[in-house]
Structure 1
Amino acid sequence: MAANYGRIVRDGLWDNNGVLAMLLGMCPTMAMTTSATNGLGMGLATAVVMAASNFMVAAFRNYITREVRIPVYILIVAANVTFVDLTMNAWMHELYKVLGLFIPLIVSNCLPLARLESFASKEPILPSLMDGIFMGLGFTLALTLIGAGREILGSGTLFADASLLLGPAFKFMELRIMPADMGVLMMILPPGGFLVTGLVVVGKRLLDIRAGKGIQMAGAHSV
């Protein structure tokens, strides 16, 4: 049966978003969203690991026995995390000094392992690669949104130090939204992570409910 790529994209970015729907990967979500730049960097690193790991597991799924699948999945994720870790250390060292502690912890992130077990181990290579890419991008979207909210409210800035991640050409993204003395310190501390994450999750569910009602009303009018 042909893969439904539209469904894979929607699930990854919105309907089955790892953070906003499944509430997976909460450790990096809480720890690395003190700014939008940190959230974006952590999310993109995780997305690369997820895409590569899904591809590799799908390619070798017929050779991985059920008894050893979890250790093999962890080994594959660990190899890809090591590659990302060394790459960031070499070419994005300033950002690496901020994210470095949490890059190795991608190995223990529930989201990559969950997608390997539930999707990549059962599907062909291309759908699995797409699932890894868009689940990773959905994770990136969630971390960036939460980081942006915390950064604006806590520091009054948006995408501070974005040039460390994206290069000097993206210096224009580093914005001052509010005066520095108007920031609420709690928002960039752990309680702010829980608060903003909860608000973003509630916002998504309210949008889903509204969209569901809109579909039901459209269906009622067409009858």
Structure 2
Amino acid sequence: MEKIEIGKIYYYNNREVIPIEKQGDTEFYKCVVKFNIAVGFDASNFCTACLIGDMDGAHPKHTCYEYDDVIEEIKGNAQDEDILFIPERMLNKHPFEYLPNEKLKEQLQKNKAEVERLSQQSKEKVSGINSMQEQIHSLDLIREQAERDAELVKTRVLTLTKEEVEISARIAAINSNVIIDSSNKSISAKELLRLFEVDERMESLKTGGVDNWEWYGESLGNTDYESCALERLINL
């Protein structure tokens, strides 16, 4: 415990006391105690109208407020002092309620700090939620675009599938045999296609005057192309 300072105000049972002398080697201090001798003193204690009221009908209701200032002045000056010998351990620097008040103040400060911390956390969470909502919105836009792209791909696949079927049908037709004049003779569509191509090519050459070219007759020779074609038709 800190050393008691002579002449300084301390508190004993929440009353102000002033140590003026230490009692030898004991723990006691001689202290001056000031106290108010007018505690409980009130104007109404001396007012007949206040005490009796209007029970007898002679004293109407009223107040003694006009005397309160005088009474308070008297109460403030009506003090006396006494000498007490108080153990050192019972001399306190502050009234008894001081410690609880300090604890309450400290707890209020802690509560304030905790409220500020929670408020900051709340702001951060709200900011995080807003950021997540923006990300979700962006993902929704990406998903919608992906769905549209998927529909386009699906349509394209169906188109390509249809074209593939048509091409396959054409290839199958080319690879199949063509019946000639309802007879038992047949020729593959591929061979017939080749013949059509050659015929078209020859017609173009004739139109361009190929028969007037040098070595045209020598290139054809004496071959009977009509007879050759007939023979190949018979051999089908």
Range into which the TM-score falls when normalised by the shorter chain:
under 0.3
TM-score (norm 1): 0.19
TM-score (norm 2): 0.18
Which structure has the larger Rg over C-alpha atoms? 2
Q: Which structure carries more relative contact order (alpha carbon 8 Å, separation 6+)? A: 1
Which is richer in helix? 1
